[in-house]
Amino acid sequence: MSFSKDFMWGVATAAYQIEGAYNEDGKGLGIWDTYSRLPNTIKNGENGDISCNHYHLYKNDIKLMKEMGIKNYRFSISWPRVFPDGIGKVNKQGLEFYSDLVDTLLENGITPLVTLYHWNLPNALQRKGGWLNPESSDWFADYTKVIVDHLSDRVTYWITINEPQVFVGLGYKDGVHAPFYKLPTSELTQMSHNILLAHGKAVRTIRQYAKKKAIIGFAPTGPCSIPHSRSTEDIEVARKCSFALDRDNFIFTNSWWGDPIVFGQYPEEAHKALGEDMPSINPGDMAIISEPIDFYGANIYQSQNAFATPKYPGQPVTSLGWAITPEVLYWSPKFLYERYKLPILITENGMAGCDLVHLDGRVHDDYRIDFLTRYISALKQAVEDGIEVMGYMHWSFLDNFEWAKGYAPRFGLVYVDYLTQRRIIKNSGYWYKKVMGTNGESL
């Protein structure tokens, strides 16, 4: 057994990281538009005001996708582009942009996968308390309905929320992402609960109002631990570690987010670790949160126990310092599938490099080809061992704004010259075209 005939090969992006046009055509400001202007927050004082200018260049970018043989494109909607104030009046030009984007994708034989929230909360809602406001889940449901009303006649695949571990953990716990807060544990747990409610209400909204069959999931970061050996004992230790949580790290874990969505309850460990700081749960909340989904998305880059520092001196790392651990694309899908019994979609995987245009005018990123060969081969082994994997979305289609790290890290299969907006398909882009075209047999 190898990748299924309907395996979904594709690429992924996020609105704030590529669109630019931050204040054009009626768009409101999001927290990244606003808070990235604070001093000493973003490397080199950079921001996403222009970025890849995808808002104006999307048709050319989609032509590039077609040239590269891309059949699936995961992108996100900018909430403040559609609702400048987060709620209330809809910005029709913002909606038209995404409608035109979907039409152009379909005209080029590319399936859209829509992510509803990828971090750029409308700033007007942040001023109302943001995700701590008990009304926040209803705000998200209302926003979701507008998107579904306008796109669901053409969109089948929906992802509610991207990486809650990261935007809560880095944005509201560690204070290194927008809005750069450091909140107490009791507020972090309640915020998590509100976000989970937002997810559940969005699922219900999509199911109720979608004009065609909807396939729905969410996209947490999903790294698991790698066992030291293939012994039964070591595998069970790694499995337990992959879903363990304690008071200090609960925000970043798999189980804090996955268990409520799939099982309808918080992990038993969470109650023990957090005690009185557990969120306030109203009757019916957990039924909303656990509204059935169709797949479990997972953004996976490195193993769980490689996040803080490399495990040994000289361990290979990417330009962001992330450990290169290809086996994680075997063990994470395996552990997540065995625990949650849902098809796995790799919603992000890739590596940051220090790419440059060589004298011959090309971008020779053969190290990325080696990286991806190792990782996708591990995923292929998971499939061959019976793990149900729907597809693989490479992060990213384009080089882009990498949040607090600015523009130096380059994740794209396509190089972007940010001064001229010139695009160059990297060697890895041509390699990935062959992988997709052969359904992974060329690995």
Q: 28-67, pLDDT tens digit by residue?
A: 999 999 999 999 999 999 999 999 999 999 999 999 999 9
Backbone angles phi, psi at 8, to 5 degrees: -95, 100
Structure-token pair, residue 361: 């005018």
At 376 the pLDDT is 98
What pLDDT does 312 receive?
81
8-437: which CATH number, 3.40.50.2300, 3.20.20.80, 2.130.10.10, 3.40.50.720?
A: 3.20.20.80
The answer to whether the annotation marks 402 as part of a ligand binding site is: yes
What distance in Å separates the CA atoms of residue 379 and residue 261, rounded to the nearest whole number?
A: 24
State whether the Cα torsion 49-52-57-62 is positive or negative.
negative
Q: What confidence tens digit (pLDDT) does each residue in 331-381 have?
A: 999 999 999 999 999 999 999 999 999 999 999 999 999 999 999 999 999
Confidence label for 415 from pLDDT (cuts 50, 70 and 90): very high
List the catalytic residue out of 348, 384, 388, 441.
348
pLDDT for residue 311 is more than 90: no
pLDDT at 309 over 80: no
Query: What is the arithmetic mean of pLDDT over 225-237?
Result: 95
> Does residue 294 contact residue 343 with C-beta atoms inside 8 Å?
yes
What confidence score (pLDDT) does residue 222 get? 94
What residues does each domain of the chain span?
Answer: 8-437
Do 9 and 391 form a contact (C-beta atoms < 8 A)? Answer: yes
Mean pLDDT in residue range 425-430: 98
**Is 32 annotated as belonging to a binding site?**
no
Q: Which ranges of 69-109 does DSSP label H, i.e. alpha helix?
A: 79-82, 92-107
Q: Is 73 annotated as a binding residue?
A: no
Residue 304 annotated as part of some ligand binding site: no
Q: How many CB atoms lie within 10 A of CB 404?
A: 17
Catalytic residue, from 19, 46, 163, 236: name it.
163
Residue 207 burial (10 A CB sphere; 0-12, 13-18, 19+):
middle
pLDDT (tens digit per residue) in 138-197: 999 999 999 999 999 999 999 999 999 999 999 999 999 999 999 999 999 999 999 999
* Cβ burial, residue 227 (10 Å; 0-12/13-18/19+): buried
Mean of pLDDT over the chain: 97
Verify whether residue 338 is a known catalytic residue. Answer: no
* Predicted pLDDT of residue 412: 98
**Does 139 appear as a known binding residue?**
no
pLDDT given for residue 308 in this prediction: 60
Catalytic-residue membership of 348: yes
Residue 280 predicted with pLDDT over 70: yes
Distance of CA 231 to the CA centre of its chain: 32
Q: What is the pLDDT of residue 208?
A: 98
Q: With CA atoms as reference, report the closest residue to 220 among 328, 77, 345, 112.
A: 345
Q: Is 200 exposed, middle or buried (0-12, 13-18, 19+ CB in 10 A)?
A: buried
Q: What is the pLDDT of residue 1?
A: 62
pTM for the model: 0.98
Q: Is 56 exposed, middle or buried (0-12, 13-18, 19+ CB in 10 A)?
A: middle
* 9 assigned ligand-binding residue: no
